[in-house]
């Protein structure tokens, strides 16, 4: 008792140097509490007989009368919606998470101080979640298959560390073997959910969609044998079904791992290990629903063409409806003896709107007068058109003013 009083005095004096005063002192010893001023104690009731009213810190309740530590979980009503935040709050009252750069471990907060052998302590962990997609089992608790595998791997490691001594516990980062074992555990849960009748059966029942296959049991997994053999052993596949949310989550995660591969690539990778009926239809729907896939491989919409004008479809004489435009310029040489002088010339292209026949005329400039002379030459050869289509060039607009 003297040592406890001395430690308390030293701790109070040390923190007082920093301007901090320790308050809410609680003890199961009346003699120790008498050495502390009353204003620094937690309550005037030194001994609390009701465990529910005892001291609480970090989720641990302390019964000062019986000197016992215990933990409790808050009750969740059936009408209350169970969210991730509520589950995390409840789990935080049972486990303390220690994180570092290389390891993540779960340690129980409470312990049995009256039990000298820690390897005798047993623990049951229950996780309840509500799934809107109608799935059952742990595979419906998360939408990411890889996330689910890692959760199962950490739970298996926690169970292993609870059953073994301190020197044999696994403290390093998660290994590949642990991830593979966790994946097998998840696949077992999926198969137990969608095909429980095959767990202990030697052959699928009549009318089952796997009735034409021979099945095997290996490490708790159901395997189907194919006609392909390697080293006198048939190649085996893991049968799954799309009605399980775990199967759909596994396909979605593989689609992301393959960098949003297409239908054929994803189907080929799944066919190496699994046998899933109607998987091709589901993959096509997955690619269509995937936003990154639509951004990368989506086809743009084509512009709808308008109806053709009557001048393109109704029967008429050639060049009755004509389109006109300039082409060039072209460099020409003046035809004089020993002359090297060059000038520009243009081609005036007349196109029949109905037959697509082409008539060419030479024009020496882009002026309105030059185009009017060219138009007269065209009319003398092909006849006067009833409709003449062109762009809004200044020479075309000037010709319209002159003619009209």
Query: How is the chain split into domains, by residue range?
Result: 2-71, 131-295, 317-403
What does the pLDDT average to over 147-175? 88
pLDDT tens, residue by residue, 76-123: 676 777 787 877 777 766 654 343 323 333 333 333 333 333 333 333
Backbone phi and psi for residue 397, each to the nearest 5 degrees, phi listed first: -65, -35
What does the pLDDT average to over 362-379? 90
Q: What is the pLDDT of residue 28?
A: 77
What does the pLDDT average to over 289-294? 88
Q: Give 139 or 150, the one with higher predicted confidence.
A: 150
Q: What is the pLDDT of residue 103?
A: 36
Q: Give 358 or 5, the one with higher predicted confidence.
A: 358
- 131-295: CATH architecture: Orthogonal Bundle (1.10)
Enter the tokens of residue 298: 């989506």
Largest CA distance in the chain: 135
Cα(128)–Cα(91) distance, integer angstroms: 11
Burial (CB < 10 A; 0-12, 13-18, 19+), residue 240, is buried
Cα(363)–Cα(344) distance, integer angstroms: 9
pLDDT at 196 over 90: no
Q: Give 152 or 233, the one with higher predicted confidence.
A: 152
pLDDT tens, residue by residue, 245-276: 888 989 999 999 998 888 899 999 999 999 99
Rounded to the nearest 5 percent, the helix, strand and coil shares of the chain are 40, 20, 40
Q: What is the pLDDT of residue 93?
A: 64
Give the gyration radius of the chain's Cα atoms: 43
Q: What DSSP letter does each residue of 95-134 carry, written as one string? A: EEEEE-SS-EEEEES---TT-S-GGG-----------TT-
Cα(348)–Cα(346) distance, integer angstroms: 7
- Show Cβ contacts of residue 307 under 8 Å, excluding neighbours closer than 6 positions: none
Cα(38)–Cα(70) distance, integer angstroms: 27
Does 317-403 carry CATH code 3.40.50.620? no
Q: What is the pLDDT of residue 255?
A: 92
Cα(21)–Cα(40) distance, integer angstroms: 9
pTM listed for this prediction: 0.46
- Show Cβ contacts of residue 6 under 8 Å, excluding neighbours closer than 6 positions: none
State the pLDDT confidence band at 29, using cuts at 50, 70 and 90: confident
Q: What is the pLDDT of residue 201?
A: 82
Backbone phi and psi for residue 129, each to the nearest 5 degrees, phi listed first: -145, 150
Q: What is the pLDDT of residue 43?
A: 63
């Amino acid at each position: 008792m003297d040592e406890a009083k001395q430690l308390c005095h030293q701790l109070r004096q040390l923190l007082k140097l920093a301007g901090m005063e320790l308050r809410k002192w609680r003890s199961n010893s009346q003699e120790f509490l008498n050495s502390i001023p009353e204003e620094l104690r937690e309550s005037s009731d030194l001994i609390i007989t009701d465990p529910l009213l005892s001291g609480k810190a970090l989720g641990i309740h302390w019964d000062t009368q019986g000197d016992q530590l215990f933990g409790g979980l808050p009750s969740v009503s059936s009408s209350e919606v169970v969210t991730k935040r509520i589950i995390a709050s409840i789990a935080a009252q049972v486990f303390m998470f220690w994180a570092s750069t290389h390891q993540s471990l779960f340690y129980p907060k409470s312990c049995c101080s009256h039990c000298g052998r820690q390897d005798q302590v047993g623990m049951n962990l229950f996780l309840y979640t509500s799934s809107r997609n109608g799935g059952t089992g742990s595979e419906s608790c998360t939408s990411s298959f890889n996330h689910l595998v890692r959760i199962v791997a950490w739970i298996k490691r926690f169970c292993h560390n609870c059953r073994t001594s301190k020197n044999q516990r696994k403290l390093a980062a998660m290994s590949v073997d642990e991830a593979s074992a966790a994946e097998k555990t998840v696949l077992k849960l999926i198969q137990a959910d969608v095909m429980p009748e095959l767990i202990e059966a030697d052959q699928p029942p009549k009318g089952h969609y796997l009735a034409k296959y021979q099945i095997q049991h290996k490490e708790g997994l159901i395997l189907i044998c194919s006609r392909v053999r390697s080293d006198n052993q048939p190649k085996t596949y893991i049968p799954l079904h799309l009605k399980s949310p775990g199967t759909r989550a596994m396909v979605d995660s593989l689609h992301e791992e393959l960098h949003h591969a297409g239908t054929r690539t994803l189907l080929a990778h799944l066919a190496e290990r699994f046998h899933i009926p109607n998987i091709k239809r589901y993959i096509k729907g997955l690619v269509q629903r995937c936003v990154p896939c639509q951004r990368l491989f989506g086809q743009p919409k084509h512009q709808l063409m308008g109806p053709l004008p009557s001048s393109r479809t109704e029967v008429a004489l050639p060049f009755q409806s004509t389109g006109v435009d300039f082409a060039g310029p072209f460099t020409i040489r003046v035809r004089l003896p020993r002359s090297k002088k060059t000038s520009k010339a243009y081609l005036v292209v007349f196109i029949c709107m109905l037959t697509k026949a082409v008539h060419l005329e030479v024009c020496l400039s882009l002026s309105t007068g030059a185009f009017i002379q060219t138009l007269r030459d065209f009319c003398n050869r092909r006849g006067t058109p009833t409709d003449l289509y062109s762009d809004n060039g200044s020479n075309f607009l000037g010709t319209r003013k002159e003619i009209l």
